[in-house]
Amino acid sequence: MTNRIAKTYSSTSPGPHTITFTAATPGARLVLVVSCWLGFETPAGWVEDYHAIGYNHVFVLSKIATGDETSVVLDENSRLHAVLYERDDCPNVLFRTAGTSATASISAFSVTVPVNATGRVFGAVNAPNGVASSSTWNQGLARHFAADAAQSNSAFAHGAMPAAGARTYTVNNLNVSAGTNEAVAAFVGYGTTDAAAPSPPGMLRTTSITGSAISVEWDPATDDVGVTGYGIYRDGSKQGQDQTGLSYTFAGLTTGQTYVLGVDARDAAGNRSVVAQISVVAEIDVTPPMAPPAVRTIEVSHTSISVEWDASTDSVGVAGYGVFVGGVRQGPDQAERVYTITRLARGTAYTIGVDAADAMNNRSAATTIEASTLAGGDPSAPPGLTATAGTEQIALAWGASEAGALPIARYEVLLDGRLEASTTQLGYVVENLDAGGVHEVAVRAVDAGLARGPEASVTVTVPVGDWMPTGSPLYRLGDWVGNARDAHGVTWTVAKEQGWSSSAQPITLGSDADHTDGGFDGPGRYGTRLITLSGTALADSRVAMLAAQERLTGALSASGNGVLRVTEAHLTRQARVRLEDTVEVTDRGSLAFDWALVVKASDPRRYARRRQHAEVTFEPAQTSGAAIVTMSGDYPTIPAKLLLFGPVIDPVIRVEELALEIRTKPGTVLPDARYALDIDLATREVWALVPPDVWPEPRPGRTMLARFPSRFFLAPGPNTIRLSGGLVAGQEETSPRLVIDATDAWI
């Protein structure tokens, strides 16, 4: 705290008056003494300790500083003089008095100074017709500021608390003409009657010594009224403000230097104890702690193991303990001597180690034990699996699996041994299958601990198409089929194709576009794809020919979009297209006609018919996990859809081969599996999904991302996609999940 005159103020202008000052030390008393012509309302947060009236006014206001105050506004609408004091020895108002006089001398009413009183007395005088700047004061008060103005001449004085007993304060030499308007003087004494200092803090001792820092602690001091804080000293120099805690760390020290460290106690009256001192040498601690003894398991479940251990010892002090599983560190060091390792595999043996570290990060040898999670407890196979084959799809339905050790979290659908999808429902439709194909479809349950139960499976044959191929490749657009005899007996021959089998036209970007995070300067490195198909159609009758022309012109309306699907020898690819021009039809007799169809794909990629599906969860006892998605196409930038489910803190998605990351802003939390981020790499859109009772619809989520490179994509070949992040308290048993859906793409 600082004992000072924080501000003197003088103004002859109409108010309100704003008195500005540098911020005070928190806990100090601010005393504002005001001499003015008119009165005013006490400002908010201040207390009027005294108000004396003669012809003019004298006010004494005060408050305990918070440290945020830098000004006070007085709404007095005339001339005003003031002094602001900051004191640390004025906790209470001990007395107040005032006097008035129309002569050159004012004597205030007598006051009694209490026994053992210490503190400060503040006085002010306002002489309407006189010269206060030559005033003299008694009882040890000294004038330090005076200001004269028409009919308002002010002087301010302060001094130490006088000895106990009756005291009369007097102001002389005001040079006031007898019989004129009354002058007024006011005096307020602040302080305390507590004269006893606290005892020195007991048992000052070191708890940690390094080459750059020394930590100390002490036992509480005692006082007849109460200890309010402790002062910290290094080589006799006070370190910052008083504190209430019983420990302190001296930082920024020099190795090998000896320091005299001290602590004293202070009471509410400002009385300070004798300083307790010790002499300490700052030195480098190179001795590691002892290995933690008696590491042992205290609880084992199907997916977690809890361990505890006895305290380690060190020459200076143990700072924390590290926990390891299979040699892999589990988070930062901790002070507690118990730890639970979660998300472990069932029925699996683990090597668990614990080491100790001191403040210099000297680490002990690890004490290790072998422990195994409980086996069994997997969910059952889904009962009653049924599969209904339809046009290029299979509809699945099944009953709920019986839970094992943990509740069922979702079901996984597998197509020919590969993961097709995950769902929380008891049904799923597998789409975009080839007509006539034979597939093995399986479903298995996954519980909250990532245990997968046995599969229920069935073999399904997809019905053949209602057309007969007559050539290759096969073209399909809606119900229209090229190079085939359709269900109406019409043979469609594609004689010429342009734009599908050739590469799309390259375009030149003005820049790499990384200056606009999250977008390209165009649809990619290639422009739109214009596709022209032409050929002949042969029908069995004139009526069938006319009907075929109608079906062709209606396959893709002028305002609609469709999917052009091209099946070659071992590969089916497709693109979303829009009619670019009218469909041309020219008769070549009563049963045949020539036709031409021009469509445009704004996305130049030719996509595989089926997507690739992968999921990433955290590895056992880890805060990361990865999956490899191998893309077979040749388009250099392959978009995907990413769906990230909680629980996770500050998640990061990274493509290892490309060193690209999607990083969320610090503090981002997906509290549980009901919260998700939906990231579409094709449209660069991000949506935040929350429970309907929190918000009924998806919300824009781009602002949750701290880093979303404009070139984040998948590339041809293997893509190792890693998810990492922190654990959510209370959700340690549940792993976050990243769902990846991507489709092979070609130029």
CA distance 512 to 268: 67
Which is it for the CA torsion 13, 18, 22, 25, positive or negative?
positive
Predicted pLDDT of residue 721: 96
CA 384 vs. chain centroid, Å, equals 46
Q: Report the largest interatomic distance among the alpha carbons of the chain, rounded to a whole angstrom.
A: 135
Q: What count of other Cβ atoms lies within 10 Å of the Cβ of residue 678?
A: 16
At 157, which helix (H) or strand (E)?
A: strand 153-160
CA distance 493 to 535: 5
Q: What count of other Cβ atoms lies within 10 Å of the Cβ of residue 496?
A: 9
* 446, amino acid identity: V
Cβ-based neighbours of 449, under 8 Å, separated by 6 or more: 302, 303, 343, 346, 405, 406, 733
Predicted pLDDT of residue 520: 40
Cβ-contact 500, 597 below 8 angstroms: no
Q: Residues 310-349, buried b or exposed e (16+ Cβ, 10 A)?
A: eebebebebbbbbbbbeeeebeebeeebebbbbbbbbeee
- pTM for this one? 0.58
| Backbone φ and ψ of 542, nearest 5° | -65, -40
For 15-26, what is the HEC assignment? CCEEEECCCCCC
Which is it for the CA torsion 557, 561, 562, 566, positive or negative?
positive
Predicted pLDDT of residue 234: 96
Q: Would you state the torsion angle of the CA atoms of residues 620, 673, 668, 616, taken in this order, to the nearest 10 degrees? A: 40
How far is residue 209 from each of residues 96, 231, 249, 273, 313, measured CA to CA in Å?
A: 53, 21, 10, 26, 15
Cβ-based neighbours of 695, under 8 Å, separated by 6 or more: none
Predicted pLDDT of residue 522: 41
CA distance 723 to 184: 78
Successive 10-residue mean pLDDT values, the chain, 747 residues: 89 92 92 93 95 93 93 93 94 93 86 90 90 91 89 92 93 75 92 88 89 91 90 94 94 89 90 93 85 95 93 88 93 93 89 92 94 91 95 94 91 94 95 90 92 93 91 91 93 95 72 42 67 95 92 72 89 91 89 93 90 90 90 88 95 92 93 93 89 84 82 90 92 89 92
Cβ-contact 480, 555 below 8 angstroms: yes
Predicted pLDDT of residue 623: 87
Cβ-contact 650, 666 below 8 angstroms: yes
Q: Residues 98-113, buried b or exposed e (16+ Cβ, 10 A)?
A: bbbbbebbbbbeebeb
